[in-house]
């Protein structure tokens, strides 16, 4: 009876055991010194530009520093005041609410666009290119362009057609200004989510849809029972990453409303940066530390939720 072929490593191991010699595990691959030579400048720059300033900022958050001059240690006073400051709480409330609404809008629109662009329609490749263009434009430039549209073009168009509700700029209305920020932020963020969903749809075997069509499944049923379940991991990734990114909103808000009217649209990032030049350096450093811890927790949650969700 024929015996299965033995591989070369197994043969060597068997021969070594027969001779009574020990079998040493494979030696660890040696890393070339050039690797560390190229890595050192990056680590040094990251340490000097990110790590050291972050540690100094945390240290300053326990003082009464105004950004220069002498500083006196005051312990947790800044943190105690932080959690009872209406302006800080308002900025967190706006930022979280804005992030939640925007992440839903972005993912719904991006998912529908991905489904539409996956169909066999004319100029599909050209349309994909057009929809991706907003993500390569600077956020501050987009914000200034939309600022002009919301402040001038839209009111003039509304006056021409007799739409009274939009004859005044929505950016000047404390109750509506946030909607403009959501629209502009979503317009810029949809392309990146669209690319993720497109990649997920392309990865679904076409035979699955063919089998469903043969069984008489309608397009809606295929979307509900095939596409959505198979894209659940991609949806989760877009939702978690999008929410974390939208919490850092800054440039679009600065270009559109600069936090106004009043402080109605002031985000946490804007509040932190404004304190650096307003004499609240140590206080806003405490705010930045808390915000960093929130971002860190979200990053850990993201890693936990997205691990193994998408097959590569």
**Residue 76 belongs to a domain:** no
Domain count for the chain: 1
Question: What percent of the chain has pLDDT above 90?
Answer: 40
- Res. 33 pLDDT band, cuts 50 70 90: confident
Flag whether pLDDT at 73 surpasses 70.
Answer: yes
What DSSP assignment string belongs to 140-169?
HHHHHHHHHIIIIIHHHHHHHHT-GGGSS-
pLDDT digits (tens, 9 = 90+) for 244-256: 899 999 999 999 9
Highest mean predicted confidence (pLDDT) among 72-81, 112-121, 272-281, 295-304? 72-81
Is pLDDT of 145 > 50?
A: yes
pLDDT at 218: 86
Domain with 92, as residue range(s), is 85-276
26 found inside a domain: no
What is the pLDDT, as a whole number, of residue 144?
92
The rounded distance, in Å, linking the Cα atoms of 38 and 35 is: 5
Mean pLDDT of the region 54-74: 89
Is the residue at 300 inside a domain?
no
Query: Residue 305: is its pLDDT beyond 60?
Result: yes
Confidence of residue 20 (pLDDT cuts 50, 70, 90): low
Relative orientation angle of helices 177-202 and 232-246, to the nearest 10 degrees: 150
What is the secondary structure of 121-136 as a DSSP string?
-TTHHHHHHHHHGGGG
What's the whole-number average pLDDT of the chain?
85
Return d(Cα 37, Cα 34) in angstroms, integer.
5
Q: Burial-class residue 33 by CB neighbours within 10 Å (0-12, 13-18, 19+).
A: exposed
202-234: pLDDT as tens digits:
888 888 888 988 888 888 888 888 888 889 889
Count of CA atoms in the C-beta half-sphere (13 A) of 57: 21
In a domain, 298, yes or no: no
- What contacts 24+ positions apart, CB below 8 Å, involve 209-213? none
Domain with residue 263: its CATH number is: 1.10.3720.10
308 belongs to a structural domain: no
Q: Is residue 127 part of a domain?
A: yes
């Amino acid at each position: 009876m024929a015996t299965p072929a033995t591989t070369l490593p197994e043969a060597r191991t068997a021969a070594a055991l027969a001779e009574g010699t020990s079998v040493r595990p494979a030696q660890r691959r040696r890393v070339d010194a050039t690797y560390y030579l190229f890595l050192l400048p990056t680590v040094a720059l990251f340490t000097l530009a990110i790590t050291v300033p972050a540690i100094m900022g945390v240290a300053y958050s326990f003082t009464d520093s105004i950004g220069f001059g002498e500083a006196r240690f005051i312990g947790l006073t800044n943190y105690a005041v932080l959690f009872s400051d209406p302006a800080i709480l308002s900025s967190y409330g706006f930022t979280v609410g804005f992030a939640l609404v925007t992440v839903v809008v972005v993912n719904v629109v991006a998912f529908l666009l991905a489904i539409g662009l996956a169909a066999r329609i004319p100029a599909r490749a050209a349309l994909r290119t057009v929809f991706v263009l907003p993500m390569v434009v600077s956020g501050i430039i987009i914000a200034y362009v939309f600022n002009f549209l919301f402040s001038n073009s839209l009111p003039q168009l509304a006056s021409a057609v007799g739409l009274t509700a939009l004859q005044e700029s929505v950016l000047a209305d404390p109750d509506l200004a946030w909607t403009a920020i959501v629209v502009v932020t979503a317009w810029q963020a949809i392309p990146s989510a669209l690319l993720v969903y497109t990649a997920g749809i392309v990865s679904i075997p076409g035979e699955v849809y063919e089998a469903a069509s043969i069984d008489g499944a309608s397009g809606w049923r295929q979307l509900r029972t095939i596409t959505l379940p198979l894209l659940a991991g991609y949806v989760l990734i877009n939702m978690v990453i999008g929410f974390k990114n939208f919490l850092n909103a800054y440039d679009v808000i600065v270009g559109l409303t600069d936090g106004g009217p009043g402080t109605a649209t002031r985000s946490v990032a804007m509040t932190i940066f404004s304190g650096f030049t307003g004499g609240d350096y140590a206080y806003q450093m405490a705010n930045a530390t808390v915000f960093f811890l929130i971002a860190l927790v979200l990053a850990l949650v993201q890693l936990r939720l997205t691990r193994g969700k998408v097959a590569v």
